[in-house]
A and B are shown apart, each in its own frame.
Chain A
Amino acid sequence: MNCESARELISPFIDSELDAAQAAEVERHIQTCIACAERQFEYLQLRTRVRADAPYYSASEELRARIEHALHRKAAAHERWRAPWGWIGSAGAAGFAAALLLVFVLAPNTFYSGKAGQDVIAQEVVSSHVRSLMAGHLIDVRSSDQHTVKPWFAGKLDFSPKVKDLAPQGYVLTGGRLDYLDGRAVAGLVFGRRQHVINLFVWPSSKQSGSRLSTFAITGFNIVQWPEAGLTYWAVSDLNAAELREFARLYSE
């Protein structure tokens, strides 16, 4: 390797971005070339200076609150749109966002059924999961006590979801909230597993029988669905598929 070509590679070399063969060549060259060794030293020094002295600007609490507020408003408008009774009233106010959501979320639902229907619902489940995290609207009732969470749903839904705390097994109930999926109000139960959040959505569905677990993976999220006692359960998380299945199995026992 000559000096000319080595010089170009010193920067990726210190970033550990060269493959093993190239890195070995650059390293060999640097041992015999003073100019390139100096350059490597300068780059390393520069890196140290930049990391130590260039400020990392953190967002202010005020900005965080401002964005959360704006996202809440958006999320609320979005939910009004998706709720079947609200769309006429908010049609004027709902803009481009709602139009897009209509195309992506609602329209496919009306054209497909069966297996495709499940896929569309799985996509909706992921959407709700991500929105709940982004808008910071994860929990309406915060409690790790299943006997607090279950009654909370009583006046709000026309069905009663099974609420089960799996803290001993490492899936900690943190609360619940109302959400909208598949064109209706559903129960949203929130669990924590290490740093991961699991949303478990529950609503009545007569489409399925048996107790088989179905798994889906959409845009990096894992989803496990199972039917139980006339209700359909959808668990979604960025947790790995094996653990999410374990969660589903424990929950459905």
Chain B
Amino acid sequence: MPHLNAAYNLARWLMRNDHDAEDAVQDAYLRAFRFFDSFDGEDARAWLLAIVRNRCRSALAQTPRRAATAEFDEGKHALDTGAPDPESVALRKSEIHSLRACIDGLPNEYREVIVLRELEQMSYKEVATAVAVPVGTVMSRLSRGRIRLQECIASRLKREVRQ
């Protein structure tokens, strides 16, 4: 099964829960199987991820509230930091939690380009294919998305310091 992890990673970040992500990925693979005549042979991963993204987008459009309120599940993503010092463990835990919460809080169009660029390590051209926008748009969305992410992390840090 080609690119299944890439497909699932993108779907999971977009849908924000396992169940919806799995449904979207299965649906996308059946569609890919059916429509691969439209595949131009250039980049199978980007082509497949474009289908995954479309499935996620339309699923999100149907249930906007449910997806938007999906909360980060602390217990499910319990961290093994391996550090013995409880204070630094707590700090590290909150750092990681902040980052995930901030990525989850980004609007879809920023979240998807950051996931594809940083986690899938795709080129701008590949991201452009997967997201179906011009390369210039990928460039500006990544730029803006990074600024937003940076601001979110900084403001959470400030809040924590104040507490």
Seen from chain A, the residues whose Cβ lies within 8 Å of a Cβ on chain B are 8, 10-12, 15, 17, 42-43, 46-47, 49-51, 53-60, 63-64, 66-68, 70-71, 74-75, 96-97, 100, 104, 127, 130-131, 133-136, 218-221
- The residues of B that contact A66 with a CB separation of less than 8 Å are 22, 26
Q: Do residues A133 and B2 form an inter-chain contact, with CB atoms below 8 A? A: yes
Q: What is the distance, in angstroms, from B75's C-beta to the closest C-beta of chain A?
A: 14
Given contacts A11-B139, A66-B26, A134-B32, 4 further A-B contacts (CB under 8 A): A59-B22, A70-B26, A71-B30, A219-B40
Q: What is the distance, in angstroms, from B85's C-beta to the closest C-beta of chain A?
A: 18
Of A58, A60, A131, the residue contacting B9 (CB under 8 A) is: A58
- The residues of A that contact B143 with a CB separation of less than 8 Å are 8, 10-12
Within 8 A of A (CB), among B146-163: 146, 149-150, 153
Seen from chain B, the residues whose Cβ lies within 8 Å of a Cβ on chain A are 1-2, 4-5, 7-9, 12-13, 21-22, 25-26, 29-30, 32-37, 39-42, 44, 77, 95-96, 99-100, 103, 114-115, 117-119, 123-124, 139-140, 142-143, 146, 149-150, 153
- The residues of A that contact B22 with a CB separation of less than 8 Å are 59-60, 63, 66
Measured in the bound complex, the distance between the Cα atoms of B5 and A71 in whole Å is 17
A62 to chain B: closest residue by CB? B22
Q: Do residues A130 and B36 form an inter-chain contact, with CB atoms below 8 A? A: yes
- The residues of A that contact B32 with a CB separation of less than 8 Å are 134
User: With A15-B142, A43-B146, A221-B41 known to touch, is A58 a contact of B8 (CB < 8 Å)?
Assistant: yes
- The residues of A that contact B100 with a CB separation of less than 8 Å are 53-55
- The residues of B that contact A63 with a CB separation of less than 8 Å are 4, 8, 22, 25-26
- The residues of B that contact A135 with a CB separation of less than 8 Å are 33
Q: Do residues B8 and A50 form an inter-chain contact, with CB atoms below 8 A? A: no
- The residues of B that contact A59 with a CB separation of less than 8 Å are 4-5, 7-8, 22, 25
Q: Do residues B4 and A70 form an inter-chain contact, with CB atoms below 8 A? A: no
- The residues of B that contact A221 with a CB separation of less than 8 Å are 41
Residue in B4, B33, B95 with the greatest tally of chain A CB atoms within 10 Å: B33
Q: What is the distance, in angstroms, from B160's C-beta to the closest C-beta of chain A?
A: 16
- The residues of B that contact A57 with a CB separation of less than 8 Å are 8-9, 12-13, 21
Of A15, A71, A96, the residue contacting B124 (CB under 8 A) is: A15
- The residues of A that contact B37 with a CB separation of less than 8 Å are 100, 104, 127
Q: Do residues A17 and B123 form an inter-chain contact, with CB atoms below 8 A? A: yes
- The residues of A that contact B12 with a CB separation of less than 8 Å are 57
Q: Do residues A53 and B95 form an inter-chain contact, with CB atoms below 8 A? A: yes
Q: What is the distance, in angstroms, from A129's C-beta to the closest C-beta of chain B?
A: 11
Q: What is the distance, in angstroms, from B63's C-beta to the closest C-beta of chain A?
A: 20
